[in-house]
A and B are shown apart, each in its own frame.
Chain A
Amino acid sequence: MNEQDIKTAFEEVHTEQKLKASVQSQLHDRLYGNTAPHCITRAAAHSFFLKRAALFCICILIGTFGYRSYTTTAAVISLDINPSLELKINRYNRVIGVSGYNSAGSEIAGSLDLLHQNYVRAVELLLDSEAIRRYLTVDNTLEIAVASKDTLAADKICANLSGQSGISAENIHTCSWKDASDAHNSGMSCGRYRVLTQLQEENPDLSIDDIKDLPMAELHSMQDACGSEHHQTTPPDNETESGSKYDNSTTGNPGKHHNDNQGGHHRNRH
């Protein structure tokens, strides 16, 4: 075999007249014809249909995934003064739900438009609202609890919120996602549930049902009382003045350390 054989073999390949005529006709219709409809090959039509169908399916998938992704709660931010309400946050840091856990909380949740706002902005709007401000007094401080499946995300939310005016870092806590779920099953916000479980730890005889309807200010007083009681049972150099409103000595509580085992901080009343 020589190079000429290859040349001759290719030389013998010619375009079928039918193919040329078909392509010329299609180009004429597509580019130069005035009235003829666009004519495309069966393969092109098939491909066109498949492309459209695939594009449609991809759009549906993206839409479904995007909707689910947007509407899935990634974290909750509980705000408790005495009004108790919770913001549901998605993974894009947008508020996708506002729930009130008592009548005052429900009233505030219904009066403000916080949906789809960034959570920092939503908390700002809440704190700026007259509805919230009238509850913030010396005795009633805002307590925030953040719960997320992702503890890093919860910490980040805490860090972002602690930079806001009117929010003290000492009043921001994290709690576990399970505790948040238990709180919701008990019909309360996770922040309030956190305080109640801490009180119960201090005094195991306490039933959550007994105290769950108490105002936050009273729960804080009980916590302070527990703290004082605890100090009484610690060595003499730490002894503090007694006379607390809530005396847990009757419950036989040894006065263990108040411990936020979900990574939170001691509450610091202002």
Chain B
Amino acid sequence: MRSESDVISTMDTYADTVRRICMVHLKNSEDTEDIFQTVFLKYALYSGQFESAEHKKAWIIRVTINACKDLLKSFFRSKTVPIEELTNQQPQVTDHSREVLDAVLSLPSKYRNVVYLHYYEGYSAAEIGTILGKKENTVYTLLAKARKLLFVELGGIEK
């Protein structure tokens, strides 16, 4: 088991990453807190060695996405969210960023991960394929369709 200081340090480094992925998938703070617990509990108990910071980051991202998927599939998860809970969940961002985030979050779930990983984390299609367990060409297709949908919502994405 990893030391508490290692876990706290890792949480300080990657908490925002986990939070953003939770925002992409989940809609209430209780679920987000559960995911945080799951991810960093797994990290604390994970005995493998990371080759680099990038490797560690990719591991955290993969574990977070899988935990979110598991939670969404869970039969026992509450399907309803109180309105006040929803407003509390929204991160404090500018109006323009809010508009962009709303457009991204309105995409079907299969596109949200690739948009986040490609446009924010800067991963290539091949790297996203490795993280999500999908073929590179599938990732390209998902990105192209996501771009089209965002074009409709926001007027296109310029390089």
Where the two chains meet, the residues of A that have a C-beta atom closer than 8 Å to any C-beta of B are 1-3, 5-15, 19-20, 22-24, 26-28, 30-32, 41-44, 46-47, 50-51, 54
Interface centre among A8, A23, A24, A30 (most CB of B within 10 A): A23
Q: In the complex the two chains form, is B159's CB within 8 Å of A46's CB?
A: no
When A9-B101, A20-B15, A43-B33 are in contact, do A3 and B41 touch as well, CB less than 8 Å?
no
On chain B, the residues within 8 Å of A27 by CB distance are 4, 7, 37, 40-41, 44
Other contacts beyond A5-B96, A13-B101, A43-B78: 19, CB < 8 A: A1-B157, A2-B158, A5-B154, A6-B120, A7-B119, A7-B120, A13-B23, A13-B91, A19-B32, A19-B36, A22-B33, A23-B36, A23-B37, A23-B40, A24-B11, A27-B37, A28-B4, A43-B30, A43-B31
Question: How far, in Å, is B9 (CB) from chain A's closest CB?
Answer: 11
Q: In the complex the two chains form, is B30's CB within 8 Å of A41's CB?
A: yes
- How many Cβ-Cβ contacts under 8 Å join chain A to chain B? 114
A20 to B12, CA, bound (A): 8
A110 to B37, CA, bound (A): 63
Where the two chains meet, the residues of B that have a C-beta atom closer than 8 Å to any C-beta of A are 1, 4, 7-8, 11-12, 15-16, 18-20, 23, 29-34, 36-37, 40-41, 44, 74-78, 91-94, 96-98, 100-101, 104, 115-116, 119-120, 150, 154-159
Partner of B41, one of A2, A8, A31, A46: A31
A-B complex: 3 closest residue pairs judged by Cβ atoms? A43-B30, A9-B97, A9-B100
On chain A, the residues within 8 Å of B19 by CB distance are 13-15, 19
